[in-house]
């Protein structure tokens, strides 16, 4: 089976490795096709694709876009996008601007429970691009001893009903799919099990996603149990969706799966890369 990983993060968003370091690690782990999918940014593409070419790894331009659908946050992967496509580029810029305002709101919420200077503290973990997210706040909270690891932070803080939560409106599903498909890419629902949607709401999401031009679903993910892999492979089959796989790697010790350490796709799935001209496939 092809060692392919279509979901991971670098210091451009909330990963801890630079694009070059990420590709080096992927190379060490035998990955032959990789997509860098930073949150709401494609700025790592040039560096990562250069590094990948040196290591004979096939590089796929990607992004993980934050979306608000019916008041919930959903992540949509754009795979094989054109990073220079203006509507995509402008759309991502607007989302990143929103992140900065949300960070102030998160910091104000943490202040209410006596946690001071979290904005500065979180920004100390932010990369050169200035993209700030909850992961950076999480690293600050761990550093200060409020939680022992990532998993614990996201149980005690930063989520709905807990200190440090700030509601935020991300991009719309329709515009997100348009940016991706307009740039020549494929829109894929990231880690669908993570949203804890009931059956009916999940079906509504899949209906909307397919109607709006989405064509893929991430079935193999670090966020999914074996049972969930089967469930989403079934949804893919029923709806003729292409299937993707990704580690969602953020950094050593922070992620459940390392790069390129994924279980195989269930049989009968059509991979999202089935019609890509990949030299390793020919």
* Residues of this chain that bind ligand AMP (CB under 6 A): 14, 39, 66, 133-135, 150-151, 154, 250
Choices 54-62, 83-91, 117-125, 247-255 (CB under 5 A): range interacting with Mn ion: 247-255
Tell me which of ligand AMP, Mn ion, none is bound by residue 216, counting a contact when its beta carbon lies within the kind-specific cut-off of 5 to 8 angstroms.
none
For residue 78, the minimal CB distance to ligand AMP (Å) is 15
Residue at shortest CB range from Mn ion: 75
Distance from C-alpha of 105 to C-alpha of 26, rounded to nearest angstrom: 36
Q: Could you write out the DSSP letters of every residue in 73-99?
A: EEEEEEES--TT-HHHHHHHHHHHHHH
Subset of residues 32 to 71 that bind Mn ion, contact rule: CB under 5 A: 64
For residue 93, the minimal CB distance to ligand AMP (Å) is 16
Which residues touch 217 (CB under 8 Å, ≥6 apart)? 188, 189, 192, 232, 235, 236, 241, 242, 243, 244
Is the CB of 134 or the CB of 186 nearer to ligand AMP? 134
| Residue 165 CB neighbours (<10 A) | 16
Is the CB of 74 or the CB of 205 nearer to ligand AMP? 74
Is the CB of 58 or the CB of 187 nearer to ligand AMP? 187
Is the CB of 160 or the CB of 199 nearer to ligand AMP? 160
Is the CB of 29 or the CB of 237 nearer to Mn ion? 29
Choices 45-53, 139-147, 240-248, 254-262 (CB under 5 A): range interacting with Mn ion: 240-248
Residue in 11, 22, 66, 75 binding Mn ion, rule: CB under 5 A: 75
Per DSSP, 249 falls in state: B
- Copy the structure tokens of residue 199: 């059956």
* Number of chain residues interacting with Mn ion (CB under 5 A): 5
- For 50, phi then psi, to 5°, come to -60, -50
- Copy the structure tokens of residue 148: 């022992």
Distance from C-alpha of 40 to C-alpha of 209, rounded to nearest angstrom: 19
Instruction: Decide: 213 and 122 in contact? Cβ < 8 Å.
Output: no
Tell me which of Mn ion, ligand AMP, none is bound by residue 134, counting a contact when its beta carbon lies within the kind-specific cut-off of 5 to 8 angstroms.
ligand AMP
3 state SS of 277: coil
Instruction: Decide: 37 and 7 in contact? Cβ < 8 Å.
Output: yes
Instruction: Decide: 133 and 99 in contact? Cβ < 8 Å.
Output: yes
For residue 14, the minimal CB distance to ligand AMP (Å) is 5
Which residues touch 91 (CB under 8 Å, ≥6 apart)? 65, 171, 175, 176, 179
For residue 53, the minimal CB distance to Mn ion (Å) is 24
Binding track over 110-149 against Mn ion, x by CB under 5 A: ----------------------------------------
Instruction: Decide: 182 and 193 in contact? Cβ < 8 Å.
Output: no
**Chain positions contacting Mn ion, by CB under 5 A:** 14, 64, 75, 190, 248
């Amino acid at each position: 089976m092809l060692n392919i990983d279509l979901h991971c993060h670098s210091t451009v968003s909330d990963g801890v490795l630079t694009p070059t370091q990420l590709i080096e690690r992927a190379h060490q782990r035998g990955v032959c096709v990789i997509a860098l999918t930073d949150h709401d940014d494609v700025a790592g593409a040039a560096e990562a694709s250069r590094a990948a070419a040196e290591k004979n790894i096939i590089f796929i331009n990607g992004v993980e876009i934050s979306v608000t659908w019916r008041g919930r946050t959903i992540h949509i992967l754009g795979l094989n996008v054109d990073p220079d496509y203006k509507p995509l580029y402008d759309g991502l810029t607007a989302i990143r601007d929103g992140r900065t305002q949300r960070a102030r709101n998160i910091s104000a919420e943490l202040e209410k429970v006596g946690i001071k200077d979290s904005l500065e503290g979180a920004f100390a973990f932010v990369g050169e691009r200035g993209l700030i997210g909850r992961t950076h706040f999480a690293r600050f909270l761990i550093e200060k001893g409020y939680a022992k690891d990532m998993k614990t932070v996201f149980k005690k803080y930063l989520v709905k009903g807990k200190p440090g939560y700030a509601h935020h409106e991300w991009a719309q599903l329709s515009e997100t799919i348009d940016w991706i498909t307009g740039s020549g890419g494929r829109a894929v629902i990231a880690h669908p099990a993570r949203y804890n949607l009931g059956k009916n709401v999940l079906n509504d999401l899949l209906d909307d996603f397919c109607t709006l031009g989405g064509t893929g679903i991430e079935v193999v993910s670090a966020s999914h149990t074996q049972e969930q892999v089967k469930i989403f492979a079934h949804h893919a089959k029923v709806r003729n969706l292409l299937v993707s796989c990704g580690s969602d790697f953020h950094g050593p010790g922070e992620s459940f799966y390392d790069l390129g350490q994924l279980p195989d796709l269930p049989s009968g799935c059509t991979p999202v890369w089935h019609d890509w001209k990949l030299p390793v496939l020919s």
